Every structure is written in structure tokens, then in C-alpha cells.
């Protein structure tokens, strides 16, 4: 019983983390139909920005309790600078191309950004354990869990519900839904579709950076951070259905729980099960669990 409880807690935390990491990917695909490999780069950028900014904050002796806000600020800052740059300078000229070609272009950009990160931050690892250690831990079922992990859950809830609220309850969100539904008619109706693409790309990348920034205190920030997260978020997003918000949540919960179960009971299949679930979903419902029927196009 105790172990099941731990499985649950671990699963929830891991799901929350995955959801935050994958949310931006599904948003960008949903609006722009781009499978965005640079998502991993923004995750890494967020982690690095958070590491250096928080490091500087703590070194100056500013109150450590506010370092969480610094993590947030770092993610916002880095994505607001880099994402529009990429969208305006390169991606906007590519929208007419095939989905697979855009995927390759974002892969090329990912390679470039990997090295930009190395040039800016070097190759040595960064550690900022303080925000992580500061909150202590809580005990569930005889196992101690770091309290910091609850922040990840809150972050996931806030970003997920916030995005859902924005999409369904605000004017901007409704216009965005129109753009998703039919960019051409939206343009004809006077919506500035290109601006929505810019905003979506920036916002989606910001979510990735946010996930990276809040993961930074729990890991050592090293080159190659973004490589792992890309396939993992692909798995999450594909399971739920590319471009679907509830789908991403479902995908995150499935992957999170499956991983948590395997870590506790069969650690040797940990990675295997995640991609096995992804392949199974693709095999039986290629458009994901939350997909609608689509007319075949000639």
C-alpha cells in the first residue's frame, strides 16, 4: 500500500513535469502545424538562464525565497528574446513548406542552438541546488519527497489551466481558435495571422523554457539537456494527439504513471515502456487518443 502511494506521488510529480515540458510543443503544433524540435533547445536555454541568473541572485545575497521568481523571470526573459528572433528571421519564411521539411528546419535550428548554448555558457555543469533544498521535504507512505516537486505540480496546473482559460474565455484565445481552425479564412476576416504565429511560437517556447528553468535546480545543467526532453515530449504529445491540450495532459499522466510504476516495480523497462506506449498509440490511433475524425484530402 505504501509503495502504491509512492508510485502515485512520483507519478503525479513526473506527469506534472512532463506536462509543462510538452505543453508548448502541442500548442505550437496545434496552431502552426510545426513539429518543433527547437522545443528542446528552449528547455535547455531556460535551464541555463535560470542557473546563471539564480546563481547571480544568490551570490549577491538577495533573499533566497525570492529565487523562485528569478527562475520564472529567467525563463520569460530568454524566450522573449530568442523565440521572436528565430520566428521572424527564419521560420516565417518556411510556413509554406511541407510539415516534414519544417521539422527538418527546426532540427537544423536545434543543432545551431545547441552550440550557441555551449558558446554562451561553456561546457561545464551549473548547479543551483538552493531553491530545491530550501523547502525541505514531506513524507508520504514512509518515503520522503522533496517539497520543491510540488512547485512543479503547481506550475503544471497553472500553465495548463491558464492556457485553457485563455483559449476558451478570452478574445485573443477565440481568435486563436479561429486561426487554428482555418488560417486562410481568418486572414480574410481581418485577423493578423502572422502575428498570432509569432505570439504562439514565443509563448510555446516560453513554456518550454519555464519547464527547463524549474527543472534546473533539480539537476546539474549540462550540454545535451535538450536532447532527451525532445523525444520525451514528442512521446507525451503524440500519445494524447498532436495539437490537443487535454491530449497533452492525458499523455503526460499516462507516461508519468507508466514510468513511475516501472521505476518502482520493473526498473529495467523504464525507458522501453514509454516509447512502447507511444508506438502502440501510433499504431492504433495515429492521431492520438484525443483525435477527431478527419476527412481524407485528395
| Binding residues for other proteins (CB under 8 A) | 35, 90, 93, 98-101, 103-105, 107-116, 118-119, 123, 227, 230-231, 234-235, 238, 242, 267-276, 278-279, 282-283, 286-287, 298
Identify which of residues 187 and 287 has a Cβ nearer to other proteins in the complex.
287
Identify which of residues 155 and 229 has a Cβ nearer to other proteins in the complex.
229
Identify which of residues 5 and 271 has a Cβ nearer to other proteins in the complex.
271
Residue 271 beta carbon to other proteins: minimum distance, rounded to whole angstroms:
3
C-alpha torsion angle, residues 93, 95, 98, 99 (rounded to 10): 120
Residue 107 beta carbon to other proteins: minimum distance, rounded to whole angstroms:
6
Alpha helix (H) residue ranges in 60-98: 67-89
Residue 128 beta carbon to other proteins: minimum distance, rounded to whole angstroms:
23
Residue 250 beta carbon to other proteins: minimum distance, rounded to whole angstroms:
17
b/e 36-68 (16+ beta carbons within 10 angstroms → b): bbbbbbbbbbbbbbbbbbbbebbeeeeeeeebb
Identify which of residues 9 and 34 has a Cβ nearer to other proteins in the complex.
34
C-alpha to C-alpha distance for 88 and 85, rounded to whole angstroms: 5
Quick one: which of 75, 15, 23 has its CA closest to 49? 75
Identify which of residues 6 and 262 has a Cβ nearer to other proteins in the complex.
262
Bridge partners, 171 (sequence order): none
Under 8 Å between Cβ of 16 and 252: yes
Residue 244 beta carbon to other proteins: minimum distance, rounded to whole angstroms:
15
Residue 109 beta carbon to other proteins: minimum distance, rounded to whole angstroms:
7
Q: What is the 3-state secondary structure (H, E, C) of 161-224?
A: HHHHHHHHHCHHHHHHHHHHHCHHHHHHCCCCHHHHHHHHHHHHHHHHHHHHHHHHHHCCECCC
Rounded to 5, what percent of the chain is helix, strand, coil? 75, 5, 20
C-alpha to C-alpha distance for 87 and 96, rounded to whole angstroms: 14
Identify which of residues 68 and 234 has a Cβ nearer to other proteins in the complex.
234
Identify which of residues 70 and 281 has a Cβ nearer to other proteins in the complex.
281
Residue 269 beta carbon to other proteins: minimum distance, rounded to whole angstroms:
7
Amino acid at each position: 500500500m505504501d509503495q502504491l502511494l509512492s508510485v502515485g506521488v512520483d507519478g503525479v510529480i513526473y506527469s506534472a513535469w512532463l506536462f509543462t515540458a510538452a505543453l508548448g510543443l502541442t500548442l505550437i503544433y496545434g496552431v502552426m502545424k510545426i513539429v518543433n524540435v527547437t522545443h528542446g533547445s528552449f528547455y535547455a536555454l531556460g535551464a541555463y538562464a535560470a542557473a546563471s541568473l539564480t546563481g547571480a541572485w544568490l551570490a549577491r545575497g538577495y533573499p533566497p525565497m525570492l529565487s523562485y521568481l528569478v527562475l520564472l523571470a529567467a525563463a520569460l526573459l530568454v524566450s522573449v528574446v530568442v523565440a521572436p528572433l528565430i520566428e521572424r528571421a527564419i521560420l516565417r519564411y518556411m510556413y509554406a513548406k511541407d510539415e516534414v521539411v519544417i521539422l527538418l528546419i527546426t532540427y537544423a535550428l536545434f543543432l545551431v542552438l545547441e552550440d550557441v548554448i555551449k558558446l554562451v555558457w561553456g561546457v561545464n555543469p551549473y548547479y543551483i541546488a538552493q531553491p530545491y533544498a530550501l523547502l525541505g521535504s514531506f513524507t508520504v507512505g514512509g518515503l520522503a519527497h522533496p517539497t520543491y516537486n510540488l512547485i512543479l505540480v503547481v506550475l503544471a496546473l497553472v500553465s495548463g489551466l491558464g492556457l485553457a482559460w485563455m483559449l476558451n474565455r478570452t478574445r485573443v484565445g477565440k481568435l486563436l481558435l479561429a486561426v487554428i481552425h482555418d488560417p486562410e479564412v481568418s486572414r480574410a476576416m481581418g485577423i493578423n495571422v502572422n502575428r498570432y504565429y509569432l505570439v504562439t511560437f514565443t509563448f510555446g517556447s516560453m513554456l518550454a523554457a519555464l519547464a527547463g528553468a524549474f527543472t534546473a535546480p533539480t539537476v546539474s545543467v549540462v550540454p545535451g539537456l535538450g536532447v532527451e526532453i525532445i523525444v520525451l515530449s514528442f512521446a507525451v504529445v503524440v500519445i494524447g494527439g498532436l495539437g490537443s491540450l487535454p491530449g497533452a495532459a492525458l499523455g503526460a499522466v499516462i507516461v508519468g504513471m507508466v514510468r513511475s510504476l516501472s521505476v518502482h516495480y520493473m526498473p529495467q523497462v523504464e525507458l522501453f515502456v514509454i516509447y512502447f506506449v507511444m508506438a502502440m498509440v501510433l499504431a492504433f490511433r495515429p492521431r492520438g487518443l484525443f483525435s477527431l475524425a478527419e476527412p481524407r484530402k485528395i
